[in-house]
């Protein structure tokens, strides 16, 4: 391998499989997730958000349809959908940051949303662009400069009807060593 190739090779994220699996179990464990939501995102707790699946490839979250999330038009309120959509991109972003060998800060810098149908049942948000989040973390670790990733998540009811689509831009920045 040439000297230039060694410099251009981005640092890998930690690959301790047991640590990764432990964090995934925490996020998908209903009781542990409720404690997390209650302490860090109380509105998400009240809405009944759940992480159903998270790994380095995809993430699925749900928001129930019911009295806690319903708007006056008998559909899931857009803010409840927004929370679940953000969580479907934020959980893997947190996983990528947690796996980083150095401290990395994360922040949403942009959001776009579109709503196609009324959400009248549990809505599942799926983000299949998770590798872009991991790539942005690698980039900020490699360069020391902020890096961004824009990822899309789609909300569907159990019958497959698409109700909303969100695009979040996440910014990652390597924190200064102390």
Q: Hey, is 96 helix, strand or coil?
A: helix
Global pTM reads 0.86
- Give the count of domains, the chain: 1
Contact 147, 97 (CB under 8 A): no
**pLDDT above 90: residue 176:** no
Contact 168, 85 (CB under 8 A): yes
Q: Which run of H or E residues covers position 119?
A: none
- Dmax (CA) for the chain in angstroms is 64
CATH of the domain at 160: 3.10.129.10
**pLDDT above 80: residue 88:** yes
Phi, psi values for residue 87, rounded to 5°: -65, -35
**Mean pLDDT over each residue of the chain, to the nearest integer:** 88
Contact 132, 161 (CB under 8 A): no
Q: For residue 22, what are the domain limits?
A: 3-174
pLDDT digits (tens, 9 = 90+) for 124-150: 999 999 999 999 999 999 999 999 999
Angstrom distance (rounded) from CA 30 to CA 109 = 29
């Amino acid at each position: 391998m040439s000297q230039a190739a060694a410099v251009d090779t981005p640092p890998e994220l930690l690959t301790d499989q047991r640590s990764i699996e432990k964090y995934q179990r925490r996020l998908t464990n209903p009781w542990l997730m409720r404690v997390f939501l209650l302490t860090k995102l109380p509105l998400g707790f009240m809405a009944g958000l759940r992480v159903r699946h998270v790994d380095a490839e995809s993430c699925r979250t749900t928001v129930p349809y019911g009295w806690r999330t319903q708007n006056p038009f008998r559909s899931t309120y857009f803010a409840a959908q927004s929370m679940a959509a953000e969580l479907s991109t934020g959980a893997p972003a947190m996983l990528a940051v947690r796996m980083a060998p150095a401290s990395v800060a994360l922040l949403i810098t942009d959001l776009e949303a579109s709503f196609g149908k009324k959400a009248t049942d549990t809505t599942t948000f799926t983000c299949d662009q998770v590798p872009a989040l991991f790539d942005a973390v690698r980039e900020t670790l490699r360069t020391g400069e902020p890096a961004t990733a824009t990822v899309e998540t789609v909300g569907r009811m159990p019958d497959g009807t698409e109700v909303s689509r969100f695009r979040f831009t996440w910014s990652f920045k390597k924190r200064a060593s102390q």
